[in-house]
Amino acid sequence: MKKVVKFGGSSLASPEQFEKVGKIIKSDPHRVYVVPSAPGKRFDGDEKVTDMLYGAYALAKKKKSFTKELNAIKARYQEIIDGLKLKVSLSGEFDKIKEDFEKTCGEDYAASRGEYLNGILLAAYLGYEFIDAATVIFFHKNGDLNVEKTQKCLSEALNNTPKAVVPGFYGAMSDGTIHTFSRGGSDITGSLVAKACRADVYENWTDVSGFMVADPRVVKNPKSIETITYRELRELAYMGATVLHEEAIFPVRKEGIPINIRNTNAPEDEGTWIVEGTVQKSKYVITGIAGKKGFCAINIEKDRMNSEIGFGRKVLQAFEENEISFEHVPSGIDTMTVFVHQSEFVEKEQRVLAAIHKLARPDSIDLETDLALIAVVGRGMKDTRGTAGRIFSALAHANLNVKMIDQGSSELNIIIGVKNDDFEDAIRAIYTIFVDTQI
Ligand code: ASP
């Protein structure tokens, strides 16, 4: 049995957090490969080391002094070294970083040093081998991951190293230039390591006990989700529920390796299991609720629309020509509505409207702004009668007007459109009917 464990920035932000991480790793001998992020925030208002590095590098690029900024970063690591009484010095590393910054070695290189240095410290603390990600994770020139080379080099290195720390977030191009994933990308490194060593589980340790049924900023103390499938997760993530980098799912999903989201500050909690498939029923019919504000609806009317072949295509062509992607297209007999992101639409609206007129010749178009979409997601909905009914009676009881309804053919989700102002109340009403009353 092999486990890959990835720790996020807040789990490794201070010596106290390092100690918690050490305990977690030592408590299970299967936790053999560790992927750290850079030190994150220690308290509200604190700065992440990655952001500090971007800041210092921005000054270096402008040929301004960055000594103060680099010293502040040094101090973050020194706090960890002193707190844990490590016999490690990073001063050689910092001399090299200073030199490289002066040579303007690239923003990605600069940002990657956060994980690199934290990896060195964590390896020393655990007594594990340190494997520099630049020697095992590779990118093509265009920035895409070089999947074959990475898989080959990473699995070879892991085969020869029974216990290792591999820093997250970065790798190298064939010419040695450092390249990073997008922000939060240590999750992807963890997933690649899990795939390369054929781990039994990929544990992703963060500062929450897994995914919640609803956003805790909207619902007070929401229940956490015990098991979620990759498809459900994708629906919720698309609607803004984030705990894990989206691209981290693919490598492990293909290998059938489950992900377990865990909380470094509450290691006894089971967290959330993300799996390909499960026969386990979710506790509450629905698995989760998520949503986003800031949509607008373009309502198009044309008499006898239903018998005009190609009408829908012509309308959508107007959006395509203006490079706007649509979210949902509910339709009636003589009406069709297109939901789009308001921020994308605003600047192009007159061009899009003119194109709809030209291509589809509608009788009228009207616009509605400030709308929100809410996704109610659950693999259990397919087999449960009355789910939609419960959602809408909950919304009616809360006096909330539903603007749009869309149920995917997979019956995995129901999407509801409401006014931005009703967004929070609608989520709370749906949460209450399924979780609190639990009938
Ligand atoms: N340290 C990087 C960031 O802040 C990557 C990560 O933490 O996953 O985005």
pTM above 0.75, yes or no: yes
Task: Tell me the average pLDDT across 235-242.
Answer: 83
Residue to mutate (ligand 1; options 115, 117, 169; most atoms within 8 A of CB) = 169
pLDDT of 49: 98
- Check pLDDT > 70 for residue 425: yes
Per-residue model confidence as pLDDT tens digits over 110-164: 999 999 999 999 999 999 999 999 999 999 999 999 999 999 999 999 999 999 9
Q: What is the per-residue pLDDT for 415?
A: 92
Q: CA 46, CA 180: separation in Å to the nearest integer?
A: 23
The CA 170 to ligand 1 mean position distance, Å, reads 10
User: What pLDDT shows up at residue 439?
Assistant: 55
Ligand 1 centroid from CA 312, angstroms: 42
Mean pLDDT of 175-183: 96
Q: What tokens were used for 434? A: 């399924």
The two three-digit tokens of residue 2, written as one number: 């092999």
Q: What whole-number distance in Å separates Cα of residue 158 and Cα of residue 137? A: 12
pLDDT at 175 over 70: yes
**Residue to probe by mutation, ligand 1, list 48, 117, 243, most atoms within 8 Å of CB:** 48
The alpha carbon torsion through 120, 151, 236, 210 (nearest 10 deg) reads -40
Estimate to the nearest angstrom the gap between the alpha carbon of 351 and the chain centroid. 33
Q: How many Å lie between the centroid of ligand 1 and the Cα of residue 48?
A: 9
Identify the residues whose C-beta falls under 6 Å from ligand 1.
9, 37-38, 48, 50, 114, 168-169, 183-187
Ligand 1 atom nearest to 186, measured from its CA: 8
Kindly report, residue by residue over 31-84, the tens digit of the pLDDT: 999 999 999 999 999 999 999 999 999 999 999 999 999 999 999 999 999 999
Q: What domains sit in the chain, N to C, each tagged with a CATH number?
A: 3-207 (3.40.1160.10), 288-436 (3.30.2130.10)
User: With 80 as the cut, is the pLDDT of residue 98 above it?
Assistant: yes
| Residues 304-339: tens digit of each pLDDT | 888 889 999 999 999 999 999 999 898 888 999 999
Distance CA 128, CA 5 (A): 13
Compute the distance from residue 256 Cα to the ligand 1 centre, in Å.
25
Residue type for 27, please? S
Ligand 1 center–CA 29 separation, angstroms: 27
Say how many Å lie between the CA of residue 9 and the centre of ligand 1: 7
Query: Is the pLDDT at 417 greater than 70, yes or no?
Result: yes
**Residue 115 Cα: closest atom of ligand 1:** 1
The two tokens of residue 100 are 């490289």
